[in-house]
């Protein structure tokens, strides 16, 4: 396997419903189905939706899940609202209806005592499963309270605010199996964290042995000034690159770099500084073997959310990396 294959494997969580694309549910679902069937399906990870829009998601997705037959199910990450208890119940209902096999979560746990169906697996009726949720946390107390509600079969990502000291919340995640999330961009320049904030977040996650994902503003491989939306009059800002973020994460995680050197990786704007070869990935001669990169991707730098799947792929092709 080449470095690009390892680095990009199952990395893009498709967030077409969210800005700046902000597609309607139908087109977003159709896009995801098309990407799953395409040559670059190995890059695709989860479909991102809100719990509030699951009814829409079902209506638009059912025909694809039925057509997929024995294919791998659609994996879905759902964003709950203010009532986490109610949203977990809604996720249960979805998985009971569509999950092909989801262990204890696919059980009628809400049945009254004495009903044998309370411990009977539900019928397999489709091919989609919500196995991840993404929610915000302002404190360790928020994390503790949420983890008492979230069942162990659902993997939570807690979004932390990069403007704050992230060490407290990330420390609260340590040892729980929960993961962290950082927002690396937005539709205005003030929503883009500086390299030092991203490097600090990654270093805190590495120190606490907490895996993470990033979201927003990572449509392109390398850091550059770009339009922040698809409007003709879009504001512009310097967007982070996903190559910068993933390689900085790999260097920090493996102990090859400290925070300050990682800031330099995150600040890099020259695509030629990055090399993805057959045995190594490197930045300005600083290399990491693909076996170590694979471990980082699997256990630490999990994915990034993007409202575009095509832009990351097309840009890598344009750089000659794919």
Question: How far is residue 219's CA from residue 217's CA, in Å, rounded to a whole number?
Answer: 6
Q: Check residue 253 and give its pLDDT.
A: 98
User: For residue 190, what are the contacts with CB-CB under 8 A and spacing of at least 6?
Assistant: none
Q: Check residue 267 and give its pLDDT.
A: 98
Residue 25 φ then ψ, to 5°: -60, -45
Question: How far is residue 25's CA from residue 59's CA, in Å, rounded to a whole number?
Answer: 9
Q: Check residue 70 and give its pLDDT.
A: 64
Question: How far is residue 190's CA from residue 159's CA, in Å, rounded to a whole number?
Answer: 18
The model's pTM is 0.91
Per domain, the residue ranges of the chain are 3-318
Q: Check residue 103 and give its pLDDT.
A: 52
DSSP 110: T
- Output the six-digit token pair for 23: 């597609």
What are the helix (H) ranges across the chain?
3-8, 25-37, 54-68, 84-98, 140-149, 167-173, 195-208, 242-253, 259-267, 290-299, 310-318
Residue written as tokens 């809100």?
A: 50
Q: Given this structure, which CATH class describes domain 3-318?
A: alpha beta
322 residues of the chain, pLDDT tens digit each:
799 999 999 999 999 999 999 999 999 999 999 999 999 999 999 999 999 999 999 999 999 998 766 678 999 999 999 999 999 999 999 999 998 665 544 444 443 444 433 333 344 445 899 999 999 999 999 999 999 999 988 999 999 999 999 999 999 999 999 999 999 999 999 999 999 999 999 999 999 999 999 999 999 999 999 999 999 999 999 999 999 999 999 999 999 999 999 999 999 999 999 999 999 999 999 999 999 999 999 999 999 999 999 999 999 999 999 9
Q: Check residue 99 and give its pLDDT.
A: 85
Longest dimension (CA), the chain: 66
CB 156 within 8 A of CB 135: yes
């Amino acid at each position: 396997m080449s470095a690009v294959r390892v680095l990009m494997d199952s990395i893009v969580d498709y967030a077409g419903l969210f800005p700046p694309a902000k597609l309607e549910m139908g087109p977003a679902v159709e896009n995801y189905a098309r990407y799953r069937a395409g040559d670059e399906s190995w890059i695709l990870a989860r479909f991102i939706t809100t719990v509030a829009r699951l009814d829409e998601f079902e209506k638009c997705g059912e025909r694809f899940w039925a057509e997929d037959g024995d294919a791998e199910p659609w994996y879905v990450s759902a964003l709950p609202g203010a009532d986490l208890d109610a949203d977990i119940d809604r996720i249960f209902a979805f998985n009971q209806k569509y999950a092909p096999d989801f262990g204890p979560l696919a059980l009628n746990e809400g049945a009254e005592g004495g009903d044998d169906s309370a411990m009977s697996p539900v019928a397999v009726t489709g091919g989609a499963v919500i196995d991840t949720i993404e929610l915000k946390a302002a404190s360790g107390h928020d994390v503790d309270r949420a983890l008492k509600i979230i069942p162990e079969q659902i993997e939570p990502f807690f979004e932390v605010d990069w403007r704050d000291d992230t060490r407290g919340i990330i420390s609260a995640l340590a040892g729980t199996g929960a993961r962290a999330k950082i927002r690396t961009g937005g539709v205005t320049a003030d929503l883009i964290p500086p390299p030092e904030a991203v490097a600090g977040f990654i270093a805190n996650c590495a120190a606490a042995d907490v895996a993470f994902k990033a979201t927003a503003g990572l449509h392109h491989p390398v850091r550059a000034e770009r339009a922040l939306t698809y409007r003709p009059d879009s504001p512009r800002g310097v967007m982070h690159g996903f190559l910068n973020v993933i390689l900085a994460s790999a260097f920090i995680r493996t102990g090859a770099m400290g925070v300050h050197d990682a800031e330099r990786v995150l600040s890099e704007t020259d695509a030629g500084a990055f090399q993805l070869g057959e045995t190594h990935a490197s930045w300005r001669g600083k290399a990491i073997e693909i076996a170590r990169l694979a471990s980082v991707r699997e256990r630490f730098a999990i994915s990034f959310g993007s409202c575009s799947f095509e832009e990351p792929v097309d840009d890598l092709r344009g750089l000659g990396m794919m």
